[in-house]
């Protein structure tokens, strides 16, 4: 029959802690790089699916080059407001205990 010795248990706990903290340190340094890689990959996949679904309807790279007439929107003149109008009567409220 196998018995667990104190040194064997301590070795196991030490190995588990080293693996845990080693993994934690590696993720801290390489995690952002891995996350950026997957975000770029998902962004490209999203753009590809969007392009397949809607085509160049919303202005892809090809349609931006072909359209060269910009739309100019002029400002409308501000409407004059009469600030002398009295909207209502001022009522002073008091708190009742």
Of 44 and 89, the structure prediction assigns the larger pLDDT to 44
- Residue found by looking up tokens 């990959």 in the block: 41
Is the predicted pLDDT of residue 55 greater than 80, yes or no? no
Greatest distance between any 2 Cα atoms in the chain: 100
In a domain, 85, yes or no: no
In a domain, 35, yes or no: yes
Please state, in angstroms and rounded to a whole number, the distance separating the CA atoms of residues 28 and 64: 41
In a domain, 62, yes or no: no
Is the predicted pLDDT of residue 50 greater than 60, yes or no? yes
Is the predicted pLDDT of residue 58 greater than 80, yes or no? no
Total domains present in the chain: 1
Please state, in angstroms and rounded to a whole number, the distance separating the CA atoms of residues 90 and 72: 45
CA R_g for the chain:
34
In a domain, 89, yes or no: no
Give the number of other Cβ atoms within 10 Å of residue 60's Cβ: 14
36-48: average pLDDT: 94
């Amino acid at each position: 029959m196998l018995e667990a010795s104190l040194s064997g248990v301590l070795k196991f706990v030490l190995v588990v802690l080293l693996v845990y903290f080693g993994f934690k340190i590696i993720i801290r340094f390489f995690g952002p790089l891995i996350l950026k890689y997957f975000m770029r990959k998902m962004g490209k996949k999203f753009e590809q699916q969007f392009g397949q679904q809607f085509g160049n309807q919303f202005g892809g790279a090809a349609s931006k080059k072909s359209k060269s007439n910009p739309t100019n929107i002029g400002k409308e003149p501000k409407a004059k407001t009469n600030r002398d109008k009295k909207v209502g009567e001022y009522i002073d409220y008091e708190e009742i205990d």
